[in-house]
Amino acid sequence: MVTRQDEVTQGEFNPWLRVVSLIESAGKLLGLDPDLVQRIVAPERVLEVSIPVRMDNGGVQMFTGWRIQHDTARGPGKGGIRFHQTVNEDEIAALSGDMSIKCAVVNIPYGGAKGGVRVDPTKLSRAELERLTRRYAFSIAPIIGADRDIPAPDINTDTQIMSWIMDTVSMLRGYNTPGVVTGKPLSIGGTLGHAGATSLGVTICTTALLRHLNRPADLESVIIQGYGKVGAPLVKFLTERGIRVVGVADVRGAIHVPEGIDAAKLAEHFAATGTVMGFAGATEVPSEDFFTIPSTIAIPAALGGVIDAHVAETMSANIIIEAANGPTTGEGAEVLNRRGIIAVPDVLANAGGVVASYFEWAQDIQGYMWETDLFMQRLEKTMNDAFEHVWKRHQELQVPLRETAIAVGVERIAEATEVRGLFP
């Protein structure tokens, strides 16, 4: 992984160094022993694998994948697997660190981990995608498991990919291991509430923040970058709560509808065309101008690093809810703070997904499936409690919500690390 020395020569945004500095700053804020902070910063285990895949044309193509377990002081590693052409070790390390903090912020008994394969899955056939997934699962199988490290979906991975991973590991072990991954289909130990759980958590954080700020929901206007697993349900959930969604972007471009988007019509349009572009009555906006669309709340729900200093300086909204992982760069965050823009950070805002994963895993290892009502009730309560706790600490510590949330997470990881002691 990159070190600070490298950063000086590269001079560009590095997500891993950003996580390191966030954890170190939290350590200083909390007055923690620097040796303890260094133990928390360093990833526990980094596995890099080469993945040979037989392509449909008979040839073999090589891919590189990672699984990184950042911290397991509070429980087994937990975190998604992403398939994307830009995946690299530093990004996966950063995301694994985010997961350690996220699980601690919502107080679920997990550490943090993350995995990824550098591949553009849109260029693979379904059969190639299955072979890639199964070979990657085989390669990381020695370090994953219901009591070790539990993967889940992330960018470009879904219930089908989770099923192939679960099946591959089950075949290897010789018995069924539903608890080895979450985000599975219902038929093999998945849960109804998992799909959309991240978006529900984002919605809960948005409404809780508006309540604390005494801002009526019907006066807000939201823009959402991303119309995938998180962005699409979000348009529906927010509009159901009377919050107007006035802009949506996907990989092809962005649309603007000042009077508010009809969630059902956009979903229909997207199902028919595969893009938000061309939506009836919408003005099309170039992607690079998306965050300047007049709005009060901006929700990045796609890739990381998009809110840099320039975007932060020119954005219209005065609230950001981070549905994506790591959407804001260090410089971007400084500008947001200077401009008084309130940011609910990823480790709190998008934690609904991993909370749902926790409930799925708990049911799998118990062998007892809950009613969906109970699942939804507990999801809402866990997210609300986490938001209220961070808000309370925000008033006590008098630092922005991002620094507060990281401090809440680091505080809990530090407590677990100290009480367990240092082996040997």
Pick from 75, 77, 79, 178 the residue near ligand GLU by CB under 6 A.
79
Secondary structure tally for the chain: helices H, strands E: 15, 12
Pick from 132, 276, 321, 354 the residue near ligand GLU by CB under 6 A.
354
Residue 80 binds ligand GLU (CB under 6 A): yes
* Class of residue 398 by CB neighbours under 10 A (exposed 0-12, middle 13-18, buried 19+): exposed
CA separation for the pair 411, 114 (Å, rounded): 21
Closer of 53 and 95 to ligand GLU (Cβ): 95
Shortest CB 264 distance to ligand GLU, Å:
26
Closer of 117 and 341 to ligand GLU (Cβ): 117
Amino acid at site 114: K
Output the CA angle 225-229-233, nearest 5 degrees: 80
Amino acid at site 35: D
Residue 353 binds ligand GLU (CB under 6 A): yes
Closer of 255 and 405 to ligand GLU (Cβ): 405
Residue 78 binds ligand GLU (CB under 6 A): yes
Shortest CB 183 distance to ligand GLU, Å:
6
Closer of 112 and 247 to ligand GLU (Cβ): 112
Amino acid at site 82: R
Number of neighbours of residue 8 by Cβ within 10 angstroms: 8
Q: With CB under 6 A as the contact rule, which of the stretches 46-54, 258-266, 348-356, 386-394 interacts with ligand GLU?
A: 348-356
Closest residue to bound ligand GLU by CB = 80
Residue with tokens 């954005």: 315
CA separation for the pair 376, 342 (Å, rounded): 28
Shortest CB 19 distance to ligand GLU, Å:
13
Binding mask 181-220 for ligand GLU (x = CB under 6 A): -x--------------------------------------
- List the beta strands (DSSP E) in 40-147: 45-54, 60-71, 77-84, 112-118
Residue with tokens 């990989």: 251
What is the bridge-based pairing of β-strands 60-71 and 45-54? antiparallel
Closer of 279 and 359 to ligand GLU (Cβ): 359
Going by C-beta distance under 8 Å and a sequence separation of 6 or more, which residues neighbour residue 64?
48, 49, 50, 51, 117, 118
Amino acid at site 240: E
Binding mask 83-122 for ligand GLU (x = CB under 6 A): ----------------------------------------
Amino acid at site 243: I
Closer of 38 and 366 to ligand GLU (Cβ): 366
Closer of 14 and 157 to ligand GLU (Cβ): 157
Q: For residue 80, what are its two tokens?
A: 């998604």
CA separation for the pair 220, 210 (Å, rounded): 9
* Class of residue 62 by CB neighbours under 10 A (exposed 0-12, middle 13-18, buried 19+): exposed
Residue 357 binds ligand GLU (CB under 6 A): yes
Shortest CB 174 distance to ligand GLU, Å:
25
Shortest CB 385 distance to ligand GLU, Å:
18
Nearest C-alpha neighbor of 22 from the set 280, 407, 292: 407
Under DSSP, the state recorded for 258 is T
Q: With CB under 6 A as the contact rule, which of the stretches 126-134, 184-192, 237-245, 353-361 interacts with ligand GLU?
A: 353-361
Residue 152 binds ligand GLU (CB under 6 A): yes
Q: Annotated catalytic residue: which of 28, 78, 102, 114?
A: 114
Pick from 100, 199, 239, 325 the residue near ligand GLU by CB under 6 A.
325
Site for ligand GLU in 164-183 (CB under 6 A): 182
Shortest CB 182 distance to ligand GLU, Å:
5
Active site residue 265: no
Assign residue 410 a region (left: φ > 0; alpha: ψ between -120 and 50; beta: otherwise). Answer: alpha
Closer of 329 and 350 to ligand GLU (Cβ): 350
Nearest C-alpha neighbor of 387 from the set 209, 151, 138: 209
Number of residues that bind ligand GLU (CB under 6 A): 11
Pick from 71, 154, 322, 364 the residue near ligand GLU by CB under 6 A.
154
Amino acid at site 184: K
> Catalytic residues, which ones?
114
Q: Which residues bind ligand GLU (CB under 6 A)?
A: 78-80, 152, 154, 182, 325, 350, 353-354, 357
